[in-house]
Amino acid sequence: MTTMVFVNFPVADLDRSIAFYEALGFKMNKAFSTPEASAVVWDDHFWVMLLTHDFYQQFIQDKTIADPHTTSQALIAFSMDSAEEVRRFAEAAKQNGGNYYHIDMGIPEDQMFGLEVQDPDGNILEPNWMNMSN
């Protein structure tokens, strides 16, 4: 069996979040979506589950939902085919209510390139490209 990764994000406005992720290239999977949650799919192995705050709260019981605008929860990194694809992904985020920034890790861009991409709720994805031919 191939492993699939499902990242769960609490979101304030489900429709806004679906539109944002679709603008980045994710596809909504209606079979695994409800009025409380939506599955948006990058590929067969990487899905993001967008959950309303009330629905997300059921999974964490008495814990408080972190505000990702002020508190770091997790950094979700995934690979892309080129540095240019990383840039296009980040620009699409910025044009659709998100934002991005770059962290200089001291590695030449022709070897590795990534950006920190924030959705409208402040959740962070890290699209990155690595030159594996070195």
Q: Per-residue pLDDT tens, the chain, 134 aa: give them.
A: 678 889 999 999 999 999 999 999 999 999 999 999 999 999 999 999 999 999 999 999 999 999 999 998 889 999 999 999 999 999 999 999 999 999 998 999 999 999 999 999 999 999 999 998 86
Rounded distance, CA 67 to CA 123, Å?
Answer: 9
CATH code for the domain of 27: 3.10.180.10
66 domain residue, yes or no: no
67 domain residue, yes or no: no
Number of domains in the chain: 1
* Domain interval for residue 112: 5-60+72-130
Q: What pLDDT, on a 0 to 100 scale, did the predictor assign at position 28?
A: 97
Coil vs helix vs strand at 86: helix
Rounded distance, CA 118 to CA 134, Å?
Answer: 30
Model pTM score: 0.90
65 domain residue, yes or no: no
Rounded distance, CA 65 to CA 88, Å?
Answer: 30
Rounded distance, CA 134 to CA 117, Å?
Answer: 26
